[in-house]
């Protein structure tokens, strides 16, 4: 019998070595008696496995996990959650590095760093943009749009001056944008 060795816990919570036969059957070391395994532990040492496959559906791996390939025409990783506190995908970097790096043909096109910095190589579009200090960017956009629309219709410099004065007064009236909502979700699990 050719076999690969890994460890598992059975319904009686006993830690036992597992053998996989050439026909794909799992057998324990107990004289070939088949048993239902609740959890599998692969590699590492007892109590500190490299990979844990648990009966609740959770998987813990201490190394890198490569999923999919360049010919896959579907989501490679999909995260689903119905939690009010946690997102479908969690990333943590305790240093100053990246949480997410997106590439196209080997070139970085988007990234999110641990400090919250987002960098993209194209324009970013959003419904509402809140800035922590300074002028409201939506009002600046509206002001520039208005200037663009009326430049050809202004016949004299005084009219243009009045237009600019009105737009800048509007910006000064509310120099700070509204405060964005505070995320009250608890810290994600370690």
Token code pair at residue 126: 């959003």
Classify residue 166: in a domain, yes or no.
Answer: yes
Task: Spell out the per-residue pLDDT of the chain, length 190, in tens.
Answer: 443 446 666 666 666 666 667 776 666 555 445 555 677 788 877 778 888 888 788 899 999 888 888 888 998 888 888 998 988 888 999 988 999 999 998 899 999 999 988 999 988 877 776 666 666 677 777 777 777 777 666 666 777 777 777 777 766 655 555 555 565 555 555 5
Domain that holds residue 158: 137-173
The set of residues, in sequence order, having a beta carbon less than 8 Å from that of 128 and lying 6+ positions away, is: 138
Classify residue 169: in a domain, yes or no.
Answer: yes
Classify residue 180: in a domain, yes or no.
Answer: no
Cα(72)–Cα(91) distance, integer angstroms: 23
Classify residue 26: in a domain, yes or no.
Answer: yes
Classify residue 20: in a domain, yes or no.
Answer: yes
Classify residue 98: in a domain, yes or no.
Answer: yes
pTM attached to this predicted model: 0.52
How many domains is the chain built from? Answer: 3
Classify residue 188: in a domain, yes or no.
Answer: no
The reply to whether 11 and 56 lie within a common domain is yes
Classify residue 28: in a domain, yes or no.
Answer: yes
């Amino acid at each position: 019998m050719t076999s690969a060795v890994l460890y598992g816990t059975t319904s009686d919570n006993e830690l036992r070595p597992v053998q996989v036969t050439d026909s794909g059957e799992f057998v324990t070391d107990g004289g070939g008696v088949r048993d239902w395994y609740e959890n599998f532990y692969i590699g590492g040492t007892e109590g500190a496995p490299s990979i844990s496959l648990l009966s609740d559906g959770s998987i813990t791996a201490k190394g890198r996990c490569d999923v999919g390939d360049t010919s896959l025409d579907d989501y490679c990783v999909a995260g689903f959650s119905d939690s009010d506190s946690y997102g479908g995908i969690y990333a943590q970097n305790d240093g100053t590095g990246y949480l997410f790096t997106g590439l196209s043909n080997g070139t970085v096109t988007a990234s999110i760093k641990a400090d919250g910095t987002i960098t993209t190589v194209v324009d970013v579009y959003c419904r509402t943009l809140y800035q922590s200090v300074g002028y409201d960017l939506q009002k600046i956009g509206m002001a520039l749009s208005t200037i663009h629309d009326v430049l050809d219709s202004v016949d004299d410099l005084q009219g243009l001056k009045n237009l600019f004065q009105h737009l800048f007064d509007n910006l000064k009236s509310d120099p700070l944008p509204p405060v964005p909502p505070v995320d009250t979700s608890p810290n994600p699990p370690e």
